[in-house]
Structure 1
């Protein structure tokens, strides 16, 4: 383990207790509170009456956008994202619209942050939009123009890159508020020359940067020696695009960081690559590093840490320990003393397979926790091939394929000579939203999925010509077939890894569509090599492939109704116009993972490429997703249960299959009355007994669900709100996911009968 220890002994003396320690009785922040535990100390809904929950009210989003938004509730007001990426304030007991700030394309989709002054007179909603931070008055819904420059703080400024070269930096996950600071991570993209994932804090009132922590160390900073000497000038990533946890009592922030870029090949970043794939403990007031642990050295698998670190109190060897538990994509749960960084159970460095790719220097060892046991499968052999969704002939082909792959267990590096098996895969294990805890009891809950990656051979490829990958005469169908079809389906119907594009004309106009191509969004990489004419050709074909829709390319989504209490539209001045201008510099270089040349004076090996290989989630046998309960007083798994039911597999005889993609992009609510509420891609919400894993209540939503639910109490009545606006996933098969759009999209709110 690597960690800093110089200031550990002085933590208690140097960091004072912060006011307003989370009492777990409100849901004012993403994840329920600063500790991101998703734990609520409310006692109205119990194991005895949970089966009486009924719909109290619903709020339709009135568009076709799949919102992954975690609602927050302040007093009697709920804030949601709906109606064409508009922020909406609702009465939390009835769903009545209070105000609408309309048309915020590019807003971070997972949630927003809330801040209020000590006298409660100044209340602000803080969010990321395109390249900026912006604030809205929580009471009026209007932009706060005294924040930053006319209401905007440019996240491209202050990085070790020229701002005009930064094509992606905003994260969909909201920042974390501490005192008068808003602390931000970022989503940098995965291409060569992506921007660095610096962690930054800004003053809530002025927008001025208060501190920055370089996740790729600059000369003279600790960790600089774990990179080539100029790496800080050209390596990107090592960012917190997931969830930030705050220990308000000590003033310590816990950041999970992701892989350096480029993900699958690291010859230009030899070394351990601190602070990639780390859990960082940082002083919230100063940005000073207190300790760190790196769970993946020189990552070649995209095994980002992204789920919320969980703060718990445990009894271990007769002593009480204030601990932090971090779940990874690799299927391990890492547990540390939260103040010193010392592992609660030993973590061993073990030899792992080495790379055969020219120029690559994979790290010889990787950390393996001795306890607790893994929550996900970490190997895939021919005996693990799924028996339900393939014909006998297909199964025989896959068994032969897996047996012949580069498949040496966990941490098998990508190969230059053959396909590589990665398990649990780049979209396996724990992802954002998928961890929760009962803090005082030392119980941690993890949603997980087994989704193998079949990584193609790593190889060189020539960069596309200047001016874009295609000439001006390229057709939209050609561009779609070569770049988009493998994920979005032959008929634009969507797949297990990407949404349908059949209703694109209702979701995006041309400007917004082109911005996503340049910057990427969510799991989608940037295709910056497409010129503006290429983007328009692609958009035209997508919205009207067979003359189905009369809308012209670039038309606004006219189906979105903006009646009601609209108080503002478009955000702070400059936000929309800047978002709509594609970066001309980015068009010169190849699409997908290619980027600009290395800076002048940097000597680096030829760039090589591969792919995440996520096209075959059905290959492994079920369960495809599970919920796992840990008792970290003993370091053991308390119980593990499948999450959801795949209807396609069930028709073939599968039981307790779990749902593919059920273990990510959604969350868990833990209650003091011993319940776990979990939403699932199969369009259901379930209440589990937190002690046994038994399902005590299930209800159907109107459609599929993504994002984190919330629980709150107003006027003595307790409510559960669930975002339900995604396609309903019926099942998974070799030809892609079988989905249904559902009956209507919206937020569904449950309560016990009056």
Structure 2
């Protein structure tokens, strides 16, 4: 069932006429001088109506102050700035309150191991006497007093709310559920998504709202519908009992004036093989508009039917006002991983321009029923390339590399919606990481301009039958596991797996069973973040590789796990509110098979994400694209970053592979667009034409979104610079005068 049905009675209640005066008045009413939520404010525009920094003086920006993180954790954190206080993560996952004008520590709540690492949210009562920081930690929702830094123990049950409850499943079967992003505050509610994982039998990604004062679960919307609910017939019977995903792990946007929340919904599991989820799979891959107070569906649009490519919606939907067909329209624009920008009337859900359902290839896999059509916008052009072609291979390949890829292209299949196969390689661009991903959208709302940070990053993959966790390690599987270890684990656990920043992994098989390993890898533990994009097959291979370490190495003594250290400074508390192990740790009885009476596929097929080929295509590999959605056209496009390897060969304006993921933008009312880029760069672009007006080099690479704020008329920009450089970048962390891993704050000189 593909028609996007609308509840007309609800729409009539919220429809509000729009004109020029309202458009500008509403903009200035919602503008603020702080960065009060993840992404700035509930609209997620990253737009700041601050006037001190402009085109004429942006080149004078200097470092105003820095705050060292004092550890080696890679923080993807988006700081909050409330009045004169900045809240950051540092010092072994401690929450630190700083004077936002000087960087001086005010208080430290130490050792919040397991906290959502991308940020937190803020709420205050109308009289501002009650101020709370709201965050997820170890599968719970918790709060800290923003003034004192101490846990609020009368919230929920002894200070916590279990996020494993309220999903329509036995909580003891759920491994992980807390989101990797902090949700969105609306009135006295915290709206939450989740990150339940992308493997078979992951938890469902139902979206929820909790009361900020009491912790009460106020509403749940089932993204995998239950019997009798709209969309139930787009799944097999009883799919809600075993299907997972269809979750919001990205950024939630709220139209505060109308009370409408826009949730970007991700893919159902398993991502690449859907024989157990025949149908279009609502509400997977949907832009979902809900009444923020009740959770009632207002409208939805599905951007991918029966997803087989991990084309989650993650980037923040952008709320804009445009001139369309002679009238002002309040619209919402959703940028997707597959490189499309979908634009709708934000009240009715009607597309501003036609969207066509076009035929796409069928699947050859047993039991798989790929959906026969997919939606394509007809006017608004895509912001990425969408085809892997021989004439667009990387021009810096050696003749041998090019010849190998020409043979692989000839033997494989390429195309945006080409289904995965176990008989040949499938090559798609954009791949699993986009396109547009987390933090990759911003806007100038009143002018109808949307900015997308995008990357042309292909995926190359091939399905294989899923082997039991105890299956033999073939040479190919072992090689994949070694590559995975080098990519994700080696920097902390050492080249020989004997430990370093992280504990030893020697003799792992005798200490940790497969289910525990899988849960820890997915959810993280202590300083270790969760790696939710490592697929089931690769997790299995990695465990086999680590568990099969030769006896000589396994005999080495395992270094003791260090006890949490209380950092220096004004520590007011340590640790989160204690929670039962069955909530924080692995499930007592994880779901491993289909429920009784549900016929699952005899064989499951899996693949890795095929992300080893970031520079397969010709540059640019990362860009910022500006859209004028009054006309549905691209206003400008400019590369983001410079690949150091290509620069040695004379290339310029390449962008950097994977250069926009986990980065962010800020748009100002003075016509500037600030953006971070892989390679430790902060740029200021002219928002009207994309010209680089200023840039600066950071001593460390940056991952989290930047933030902007003002105190007593002085305007600041803060960037998290604490990640190590990679081979695509120039390593400046060891140069003379380099800063330590830090939050770096820029301002104009006095």
TM-score normalized with structure 2 length: 0.90
1:514 and 1:582 in contact (8 A); partners too: no
Residue 12 of structure 2 is matched in structure 1 by 10
1:56 and 1:750 in contact (8 A); partners too: yes
Residue 461 of structure 2 is matched in structure 1 by 455
- Once the 2 structures are TM-superposed, how far is the Cα of residue 504 of structure 1 from its aligned partner? 6.3
Q: Could you give the per-residue CA deviations for residues 484-531 of structure 1, whole angstroms, max 9, x where no partner exists?
A: 422342896569xx9999896435799998863264624443779999
Matched residue of 2:656: which SS? coil
Residue 683 of structure 1 is matched in structure 2 by 680
Note if 1:401 corresponds to 2:408: yes
- Once the 2 structures are TM-superposed, how far is the Cα of residue 29 of structure 1 from its aligned partner? 0.8
Residue 439 of structure 1 is matched in structure 2 by 445
Deviates more, 1:24-33 or 1:691-700: 24-33
2:458 and 2:614 in contact (8 A); partners too: yes
Residue 695 of structure 2 is matched in structure 1 by 698
RMSD: 3.2
Residue 337 of structure 1 is matched in structure 2 by 345
- 2:624 & 2:538 partners in 1: Cα distance? 40
Residue 58 of structure 1 is matched in structure 2 by 66
Q: Structure 1 pair 490/219, CA: closer, same or farther in 2 (3 Å)?
A: closer
1:515 and 1:580 in contact (8 A); partners too: no
Residue 506 of structure 1 is matched in structure 2 by 501
Out of 732, 738, 745, which is 2:741 matched to?
745
Note if 1:525 corresponds to 2:534: yes
Note if 1:516 corresponds to 2:520: yes
2:27 and 2:445 in contact (8 A); partners too: no
- 2:424 & 2:539 partners in 1: Cα distance? 30
2:83 and 2:711 in contact (8 A); partners too: yes
1:196 and 1:236 in contact (8 A); partners too: yes
Residue 661 of structure 1 is matched in structure 2 by 658
- Once the 2 structures are TM-superposed, how far is the Cα of residue 654 of structure 1 from its aligned partner? 1.6
- 1:419 & 1:613 partners in 2: Cα distance? 10
Residue 563 of structure 1 is matched in structure 2 by 568
Matched residue of 2:615: which SS? helix
Out of 707, 710, 715, which is 1:718 matched to?
715
Matched residue of 1:486: which SS? helix
- 1:258 & 1:499 partners in 2: Cα distance? 34
Q: Structure 1 pair 508/202, CA: closer, same or farther in 2 (3 Å)?
A: farther
Out of 423, 441, 445, which is 2:429 matched to?
423
- Once the 2 structures are TM-superposed, how far is the Cα of residue 450 of structure 1 from its aligned partner? 1.0
- 2:487 & 2:226 partners in 1: Cα distance? 46
- 2:372 & 2:352 partners in 1: Cα distance? 24
Residue 346 of structure 1 is matched in structure 2 by 354
Q: Could you give the per-residue CA deviations for residues 151-202 of structure 1, whole angstroms, max 9, x where no partner exists?
A: 1100001112211111111111011111111110000101111100001011
Residue 621 of structure 1 is matched in structure 2 by 618
1:267 and 1:361 in contact (8 A); partners too: yes
Residue 735 of structure 1 is matched in structure 2 by none
Q: Could you give the per-residue CA deviations for residues 120-157 of structure 1, whole angstroms, max 9, x where no partner exists?
A: 00000000112110100000000001011111100001
2:521 and 2:531 in contact (8 A); partners too: no
- 1:405 & 1:415 partners in 2: Cα distance? 10
2:197 and 2:532 in contact (8 A); partners too: no
- 1:226 & 1:128 partners in 2: Cα distance? 32
Matched residue of 1:728: which SS? coil
2:206 and 2:221 in contact (8 A); partners too: yes
Residue 509 of structure 2 is matched in structure 1 by none
- 1:79 & 1:117 partners in 2: Cα distance? 19
> Unaligned stretches of 5+ in structure 1?
587-594, 733-737
Matched residue of 1:729: which SS? coil
Deviates more, 1:484-493 or 1:508-517: 508-517
Q: Could you give the per-residue CA deviations for residues 609-635 of structure 1, whole angstroms, max 9, x where no partner exists?
A: 222211111211111100000000110
Residue 328 of structure 2 is matched in structure 1 by 320
1:406 and 1:415 in contact (8 A); partners too: no
> Unaligned stretches of 5+ in structure 2?
506-511, 525-529
Residue 184 of structure 2 is matched in structure 1 by 176
- Once the 2 structures are TM-superposed, how far is the Cα of residue 220 of structure 1 from its aligned partner? 0.3
- Once the 2 structures are TM-superposed, how far is the Cα of residue 256 of structure 1 from its aligned partner? 0.4
Residue 601 of structure 1 is matched in structure 2 by 597
TM-score normalized with structure 1 length: 0.89
